[in-house]
């Protein structure tokens, strides 16, 4: 991805340390978080220094490198960080297989990271064919390079289409409570892609007015039947898109498809700290006595999905 005119990845590993763009500080400040221990990596995943299913999978792979001498304990620590995104568990399993086979840990993690980037690029190639000039496209949360190391899933088609000369505009939901829509706007602005942030509750209004031509979102886990978990608020966007006859696409690599679960009912939904709702960037926006719930994800049934943009092409649910 482009950051201030230069190519940058969301995370990188050098001399035994994992470096990550600290996404808690964006878009106001660009800072790099350094993880030197397994606990540092676990903290970064749990506290959302790094976030997005593919990116936390890669972070976990490098965390396994750091904790290679205590591989089973390392795997257990990392598995407990966040329960919903399948990529995390997939990456840990890949590294455990490498340990059993006697393969080099760093080479395995580097290969896993490169594979993630390559898959996202291919998602961008296939997805860009859906984009036409003068379209207005809605996305939810941040499924960009910050969430995948580079290119993104939902944002990859935007990058490729824009670089190929297509002209369009992206609307990004603010995505409360963590405001990940700001991360999307930050990425797209750095690419020069026209974009606007909208309130979460404004998407339905724009769809009903005919101002949205297509929706593309990412995913954190996809069941065998096509049901998928993504950032809270995705389900309602899918329902409203279907009501208004607007195509709704899910962009995700193979590592996000969980072959072990049949339907979305089996996906564990993470509930996070209530303070994420009660405060924004450290500033309280409601009294302490207000009681809240903070589910981080919801599950969208496959019947609302027009197609799945993968590294193997655009598939319908019968082709998964």
Identify whether residues 110 and 197 lie together within a single domain: no
pTM over 0.85, yes/no = yes
Q: How confident is the model at residue 5, as a pLDDT?
A: 86
Nearest to 146 by CA among 282, 53, 44: 53
In whole angstroms, what is the distance from residue 41 CA to residue 50 CA? 9
Identify whether residues 153 and 47 lie together within a single domain: no
| Strand partners for 11 | 20
Identify whether residues 78 and 36 lie together within a single domain: yes
Identify whether residues 112 and 141 lie together within a single domain: no
Q: Are 311 and 157 contacting, i.e. CB atoms less than 8 angstroms apart?
A: no
Mean pLDDT of the chain: 96
Q: How confident is the model at residue 197, as a pLDDT?
A: 98
Asked if residue 61 is part of any domain, the answer here is: yes
Is residue 104 flagged as an active site residue?
A: no
72: Cβ contacts below 8 Å, ≥ 6 apart: none
**Domain end position, chosen among 118, 144, 160:** 118
Q: How confident is the model at residue 320, as a pLDDT?
A: 83
**Domain end position, chosen among 65, 97, 118:** 118
In whole angstroms, what is the distance from residue 107 CA to residue 170 CA? 37
Asked if residue 125 is part of any domain, the answer here is: no
Asked if residue 150 is part of any domain, the answer here is: yes
Asked if residue 26 is part of any domain, the answer here is: yes
Q: How confident is the model at residue 282, as a pLDDT?
A: 86
Asked if residue 124 is part of any domain, the answer here is: no
Q: How confident is the model at residue 281, as a pLDDT?
A: 83
In whole angstroms, what is the distance from residue 188 CA to residue 194 CA? 7
Identify whether residues 84 and 177 lie together within a single domain: no
Q: How confident is the model at residue 270, as a pLDDT?
A: 95
Identify whether residues 138 and 113 lie together within a single domain: no
Output DSSP code: residue 78: H
Asked if residue 267 is part of any domain, the answer here is: yes
Here the CATH number for the domain that contains residue 76 is 1.20.120.420
Q: How confident is the model at residue 134, as a pLDDT?
A: 97
Which segments in the chain show pLDDT lower than 70? none
- Span 255-312, pLDDT tens digits: 999 999 999 999 999 999 999 999 988 899 999 999 999 999 999 999 999 999 999 9
Token pair recorded at residue 287: 């009294």
Identify whether residues 155 and 283 lie together within a single domain: yes
Q: How confident is the model at residue 166, as a pLDDT?
A: 98
Asked if residue 123 is part of any domain, the answer here is: no
* Helices and strands counted in the chain (H then E): 10, 17
Catalytic residue among 87, 220, 258, 298: 220
- Span 181-197, pLDDT tens digits: 999 999 999 999 999 99
Q: How confident is the model at residue 13, as a pLDDT?
A: 97
Identify whether residues 148 and 34 lie together within a single domain: no
Question: Which domain does 314 fall in, by range?
Answer: 130-319
Question: How big is the chain, counted in residues?
Answer: 320
Identify whether residues 175 and 312 lie together within a single domain: yes
Q: Burial level of 245, CB count in 10 A (0-12/13-18/19+)?
A: exposed
CB atoms within 10 A of CB 165: 7
Identify whether residues 113 and 139 lie together within a single domain: no
Identify whether residues 85 and 152 lie together within a single domain: no
Identify whether residues 30 and 92 lie together within a single domain: yes
Q: Are 83 and 268 contacting, i.e. CB atoms less than 8 angstroms apart?
A: yes
Asked if residue 79 is part of any domain, the answer here is: yes
Domains held by the chain: number: 2
Q: How confident is the model at residue 2, as a pLDDT?
A: 85
**Domain end position, chosen among 118, 138, 164:** 118
Here the CATH number for the domain that contains residue 199 is 3.40.50.10470
């Amino acid at each position: 991805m482009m950051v201030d005119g230069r190519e940058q990845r969301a995370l990188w590993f050098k001399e035994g340390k994992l470096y990550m763009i600290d996404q808690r500080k964006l878009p106001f400040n660009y800072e790099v978080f350094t993880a030197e221990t397994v606990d540092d990596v676990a903290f970064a995943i749990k506290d959302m220094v790094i976030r997005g299913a593919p990116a936390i999978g890669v972070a976990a792979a490098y965390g396994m490198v750091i904790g290679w001498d205590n591989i089973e304990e390392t795997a257990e620590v990392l598995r407990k960080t966040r329960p919903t995104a399948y990529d995390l568990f997939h990456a840990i399993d890949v590294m455990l297989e490498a340990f059993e086979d006697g393969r080099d840990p760093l080479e395995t993690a580097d290969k896993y990271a490169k594979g993630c980037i390559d898959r996202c690029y291919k998602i961008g190639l296939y997805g860009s064919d859906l984009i036409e000039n003068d379209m207005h496209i809605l996305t939810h949360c941040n499924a960009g390079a910050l969430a995948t190391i580079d290119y993104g899933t939902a944002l990859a088609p935007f990058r490729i289409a824009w670089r190929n000369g297509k002209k369009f505009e992206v609307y990004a939901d603010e995505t409360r409570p963590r405001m990940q829509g700001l991360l999307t706007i930050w990425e797209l602005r750095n690419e020069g892609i026209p974009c606007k942030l909208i309130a979460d509750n404004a998407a339905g209004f724009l769809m009903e007015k005919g101002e949205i031509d297509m929706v593309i979102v990412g995913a954190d886990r996809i069941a065998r039947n096509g049901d998928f978990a993504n950032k809270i608020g995705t389900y309602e966007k899918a329902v409203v898109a279907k009501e208004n006859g607007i195509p709704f696409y899910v962009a995700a690599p193979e590592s996000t498809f969980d072959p072990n679960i049949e339907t979305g009912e089996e996906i564990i939904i993470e509930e996070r700290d209530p303070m994420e709702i009660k405060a924004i960037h450290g500033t309280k926006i409601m009294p302490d006595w207000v009681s809240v719930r903070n589910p981080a994800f919801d599950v969208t049934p496959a019947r609302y999905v027009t197609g799945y943009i993968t590294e193997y092409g655009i598939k319908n649910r019968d082709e998964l």
